[in-house]
Chain A
């Protein structure tokens, strides 16, 4: 292949520029400072040249020709006029055409004030209309999904929404109908635009044709206060703008961050904000009094907890949580636990994650952007569309637009099966066997194995479901590490859990990706903190619950954690709460766990606190404060500082930024990170740690899983769904109604062997509990696999056993 030039010289409006080859003229012009107006062009989608707003004159062999700059790739010597009289008249003409049937109901339109049609009418429009006929009318607005409404009169038919749904989301549920002057965007009959990504169409709509139910008529754009932040719904940490009116969050929009979200969000990211203003939010401290939680003052609660904590030995205290906190809060939580309480028993995960060494110490650890260069992608993790929807978009883009070979290994059909080159479905307990066959290119896996010889390989590994042995992911990662030019993304999904682990909220880690067994590091930390740091060994979440249940531990401290709901063994959690002598919870809601606590502190959270967070790649980004927390809520760091003081220790917590500065000196992997770095310039895209200044001593040691397939008849696949019973989803009205009804899925053969059919109630029973659920047939499961969606009302009581028994439940109601 001949060398292609990387740059070309073009002339725009008489000025010469050198621009990158292969760019569309509209982009190249914008980069050189000439903005060409546009409606249908979107930098993240293929051009269609439909709106005709970006017409410019380009000189060619047949003279100057009007050409759409969004469909023209720059070539050497191209001469372009973007402002000639011919261009200006054509653009005025297009705007006049767009406006003749537009309702001009700007005063009541959500888009008014931030509307590309308004703005470009101002800058490029004719100023008056010559249209005297009656305008086109459609019924308006019509709901096209539970979250999005469509006003076809405002629509200018740019196809941004339809292209997004098809090209980016892979949910081609909206399409043009009819033709000519009555062309309109519509859903298919009886099929709503039920996409996890529908809100993106509202944001990219260049007019007010698509509006989001949670925002409609709630504010005018010029009244909004906004801050740049990141979404903490999952661990992708998509960049967002949180927008509020009168201290009420009313909207979240995506910000295009090239390394992560590409301008997209899941509807959960976008519409979850309503929980912030929920009536159910905790607004005052609660203390258990005569069996009931009653309101108390901060002073009473702090004094009570300080006294009770001071009365037990440090290692009788276990602490779970911190994954929903910022890095600064997590750091201070860890420092408080280790130095003030004096316990090594702390864990940000709840027995539902992966080994911390794998999550923050695996090598070679990848970044999301590796997908842009990947030739082969091995995805052996949860269903990304349900668990990490924005990462799903990035993988889908790699497999469809960039042409990577995608291999999906999962117990049932996932959202990416359609675009995968190879799919492997297996019974959860058989994972090690499938891995051995893949490594040995045995059976039907030879082609997939051969594809993995084509690097660069990106391996995305995680637990396919809550019941799967976490060591399987470690074994998959160990295999993937040896593949050509491989990078690994180990996946868990809870909020800022990577940041919490980086801050040492693990029985095996110290802040900054250092092993607790690293004596030198622990000594250095003791010097920095000026207090002893317990050497451990510490207990993890399951160990803490076991210790409480057996009486070895006395006190449970919770930081935004709900083990009653999230721990795989709800029976164990219940026993632990039952025998614990003191349970203290820092929370935003009265969760299933804080409901059982002795003291509950109401704390601020997302959009209310400032700080840094770390995503699944180790990318540190800034989250910002827009709202005051409701009532008497306080930052957890301030509460901990007070608590430490009450216990006679100065925790040294100044401002949150001061905590950030301290952690950057104490946590080796975070050396060089500062708020200044993250607030300005390229740092706003986030900085992957360790930076050049930092260091990471932690290494994940591959383990031989030695797993055994489950002995029971049915292996359980406990897969996550996007809209589950998580407290924030439940408390966000826009999303709460989207939660699916719980069910148990079986293959038709397994169902008939149990003499049950679709809709029949069966009892699903495992080691930790049992639930009664209706049967759904799912032929994409491997025989002997039972799929239950995790954490829905009615499935949480099952816990996460590896295998289950199923019996008919005639006449039994819903119970657990």
Chain B
């Protein structure tokens, strides 16, 4: 499918130099949706979003309209935009924030109007200074134009928008950790229930939505929810922005209609494998997702549900492709090390387990692996994510630690002989191992 509206990236593609400015945004139809939306009943906008069937683009893929329906109707209530894009391999929201910030701001105003919130927060990861500046400019311009503040365009609707920069923690992308961070507390996920829609920011009802999700709202208001739902296959409607990286010829962000096969995705969008090498494995939806392999998954359709049924997820839309030269233990180690580093430290299995797994992998990588390590790693993984099921169960508060399980389970499912080959054969029978020069165990 090549003929579809570039809902998210059309403006930045057509006007690469100034798509982020108010002038260009308005010249290309910007803030028209706002005028139309403010003339509608808030419930009508909620109905549009429900009809669009859009599923959240942050990772979990929960239907946005359904989530909005959970918002408790007490005041004050808040809308928080999750721009803490930090899942390794994901760089799509960055482009939306940096290149079309007004589209997001217009989406925020419309969403806040629909949800009848009078204060919205845009939380942007600390490593995104330029996107944050652009968004702040867009917000300032919107205030100057009367699109934000009191009595927006004479509608009687008031909205304040606060742009907030994170301080460099992956976990603050988890919605409740983000709320803690916004409140000035440690970025630690909260126990759910209560869910944010009931008790969120400052213990008030709160909707948390991803940047990409909300960037679609102006188009929906102008074109209708049904028009959005008409794009793409059942369950994965609308266009979606994917971040493709790794050993392909053309890495980058691609706005596509879902439903193509992974083979088409890698070959047609990515331009095939770099230097003509063979595809070994790929991560279909960010570092948290279990890996796919060519002989099992190459002809599966790229949809949320097909990916889920095959034991992984589209997640944040980050596709990381690895070719035949990849040392899968090194790759898995890098991912696990990321999660160990980003663990908030609050619950035991994550704080202790992720670090332990990382160190076992490091030992194997450095030639000090023991035969018992492989099954032991799986058992440690099982103590983090009991049953090693998909979607994962967890002994933890949030899914960060089960995310660290994904790469280990993947390499031991698809590449076990390769991992075993890294275990030296001449280990003493007692399985003793030297670590950092010291005999331990």
Mark A residues whose CB is within 8 Å of B: 47-53, 55, 65-66, 68, 71, 86, 89-90, 92-94, 96-98, 100-101, 130-134, 156-157, 176, 178-183
Residues of A within 8 A of B354 (CB): 180-181
Contact A100 B356 (CB under 8 A): yes
Q: What 20 additional pairs, Cβ within 8 angstroms, besides A89-B386, A94-B395?
A: A50-B346, A50-B347, A51-B347, A86-B386, A93-B380, A94-B383, A97-B348, A130-B376, A133-B360, A133-B363, A133-B435, A134-B438, A134-B440, A179-B171, A179-B186, A179-B344, A179-B345, A180-B344, A181-B354, A181-B355
Contact A97 B341 (CB under 8 A): no
Mark B residues whose CB is within 8 Å of A: 169, 171, 186, 191, 340-349, 351-356, 359-360, 363, 376, 380, 382-384, 386-387, 393-397, 433, 435-436, 438, 440-441
Contact B351 A181 (CB under 8 A): yes
Residues of B within 8 A of A55 (CB): 395
Contact B191 A71 (CB under 8 A): yes
Residues of B within 8 A of A133 (CB): 356, 359-360, 363, 435, 440
Question: In the complex where A97-B353, A100-B356, A133-B435 touch, is A52 in contact with B386 (Cβ < 8 A)?
Answer: no
> Which 9 residue pairs are nearest across A and B when measured between Cβ atoms?
A93-B383, A183-B345, A132-B441, A97-B352, A180-B343, A181-B355, A133-B359, A179-B345, A180-B345
Question: In the complex where A89-B383, A90-B383, A176-B186 touch, is A132 in contact with B348 (Cβ < 8 A)?
Answer: no
Contact A183 B351 (CB under 8 A): yes
CB distance from B179 to the nearest CB of A (A): 16
CA distance A90 to B379 in the complex (A): 11
Residue of A nearest to B358 (CB): A181
Contact B345 A178 (CB under 8 A): yes
CA distance A134 to B433 in the complex (A): 11
Contact A98 B340 (CB under 8 A): no
CA distance A809 to B394 in the complex (A): 70
CA distance A50 to B186 in the complex (A): 14
Contact A157 B395 (CB under 8 A): no
Residues of A within 8 A of B395 (CB): 52, 55, 66, 90, 93-94
Contact A66 B386 (CB under 8 A): yes
18 contacts between A and B (CB under 8 A): A49-B191, A49-B347, A49-B397, A52-B347, A52-B348, A52-B395, A66-B386, A97-B351, A130-B376, A131-B356, A132-B435, A132-B440, A133-B435, A157-B351, A179-B171, A179-B345, A180-B343, A183-B344
CA distance A191 to B192 in the complex (A): 34
CA distance A546 to B351 in the complex (A): 70
Question: In the complex where A55-B395, A179-B343 touch, is A101 in contact with B386 (Cβ < 8 A)?
Answer: no
Residues of A within 8 A of B345 (CB): 157, 176, 178-183
Contact A50 B348 (CB under 8 A): yes
Residues of A within 8 A of B396 (CB): 52
CB distance from B334 to the nearest CB of A (A): 16
Question: In the complex where A52-B348, A133-B440 touch, is A96 in contact with B383 (Cβ < 8 A)?
Answer: yes
Q: Residue B351 contacts which of A49, A71, A180 (CB distance < 8 angstroms)?
A: A180
Residues of A within 8 A of B344 (CB): 179-180, 183
Contact A134 B352 (CB under 8 A): no
CA distance A157 to B360 in the complex (A): 23
Residues of B within 8 A of A86 (CB): 386-387
Residue of A nearest to B368 (CB): A132
Contact A181 B433 (CB under 8 A): no
Q: Residue B386 contacts which of A50, A90, A131, A180 (CB distance < 8 angstroms)?
A: A90
Residues of B within 8 A of A52 (CB): 347-349, 395-396
Contact A179 B169 (CB under 8 A): yes
CB distance from A264 to the nearest CB of B (A): 25
CA distance A98 to B356 in the complex (A): 12
Residue of B nearest to A92 (CB): B383
Residue of A nearest to B370 (CB): A132
Contact A180 B353 (CB under 8 A): no
CA distance A47 to B190 in the complex (A): 11
Residue of A nearest to B171 (CB): A179
CA distance A654 to B359 in the complex (A): 72
CB distance from A82 to the nearest CB of B (A): 15
Residues of B within 8 A of A68 (CB): 191
Contact A97 B349 (CB under 8 A): yes
Interface centre among B383, B394, B435 (most CB of A within 10 A): B383
CB distance from A604 to the nearest CB of B (A): 49
Contact B343 A181 (CB under 8 A): yes
Contact B363 A66 (CB under 8 A): no
Residue of A nearest to B356 (CB): A100
CB distance from A275 to the nearest CB of B (A): 41
Residues of B within 8 A of A47 (CB): 191
Residues of B within 8 A of A176 (CB): 186, 345
Q: Residue B393 contacts which of A66, A134, A178 (CB distance < 8 angstroms)?
A: A66
Residue of B nearest to A64 (CB): B393
CA distance A583 to B363 in the complex (A): 80
Residues of A within 8 A of B348 (CB): 50-53, 94, 97-98, 156-157
Contact A100 B352 (CB under 8 A): yes
CA distance A51 to B346 in the complex (A): 8
Residue of A nearest to B339 (CB): A180
Contact A98 B352 (CB under 8 A): yes
Contact B355 A132 (CB under 8 A): no
CA distance A176 to B347 in the complex (A): 13
CA distance A131 to B358 in the complex (A): 12
CB distance from B384 to the nearest CB of A (A): 8
CB distance from B287 to the nearest CB of A (A): 16
Residues of B within 8 A of A134 (CB): 435-436, 438, 440
Contact A89 B382 (CB under 8 A): yes
CA distance A718 to B137 in the complex (A): 58
CA distance A131 to B343 in the complex (A): 20
Residue of B nearest to A90 (CB): B395
CA distance A98 to B350 in the complex (A): 11
Residues of A within 8 A of B349 (CB): 52, 93-94, 97
Q: Residue A181 contacts which of B169, B352, B394 (CB distance < 8 angstroms)?
A: B352
Interface centre among A47, A53, A65, A93 (most CB of B within 10 A): A93
Residue of B nearest to A156 (CB): B348
Residues of B within 8 A of A178 (CB): 345
Contact A180 B356 (CB under 8 A): no
CA distance A156 to B314 in the complex (A): 36
CB distance from B72 to the nearest CB of A (A): 17
CA distance A280 to B76 in the complex (A): 64
Residue of B nearest to A178 (CB): B345
CA distance A217 to B267 in the complex (A): 69
Residue of B nearest to A57 (CB): B386
Residues of B within 8 A of A132 (CB): 433, 435, 440-441
Residue of B nearest to A133 (CB): B359
Residues of B within 8 A of A65 (CB): 393
Contact A101 B352 (CB under 8 A): yes
CA distance A667 to B356 in the complex (A): 68
Residues of B within 8 A of A50 (CB): 346-348, 397
Contact A180 B340 (CB under 8 A): yes
CA distance A91 to B305 in the complex (A): 33
CA distance A90 to B353 in the complex (A): 13
CA distance A577 to B346 in the complex (A): 63
Residues of B within 8 A of A97 (CB): 348-349, 351-353, 356, 383
Residues of B within 8 A of A98 (CB): 348, 352
Contact A180 B355 (CB under 8 A): yes
CB distance from B255 to the nearest CB of A (A): 34
CA distance A89 to B379 in the complex (A): 10
CA distance A94 to B186 in the complex (A): 23
CB distance from B399 to the nearest CB of A (A): 14
CA distance A100 to B397 in the complex (A): 20
Residues of A within 8 A of B363 (CB): 133
Residues of B within 8 A of A181 (CB): 340, 343, 345, 351-352, 354-355
Residue of B nearest to A182 (CB): B345
Residues of B within 8 A of A94 (CB): 348-349, 383, 395
Residues of B within 8 A of A89 (CB): 382-383, 386
Residues of B within 8 A of A157 (CB): 345-346, 348, 351
Residues of A within 8 A of B356 (CB): 97, 100, 131, 133
Residues of B within 8 A of A53 (CB): 348
CA distance A168 to B341 in the complex (A): 32
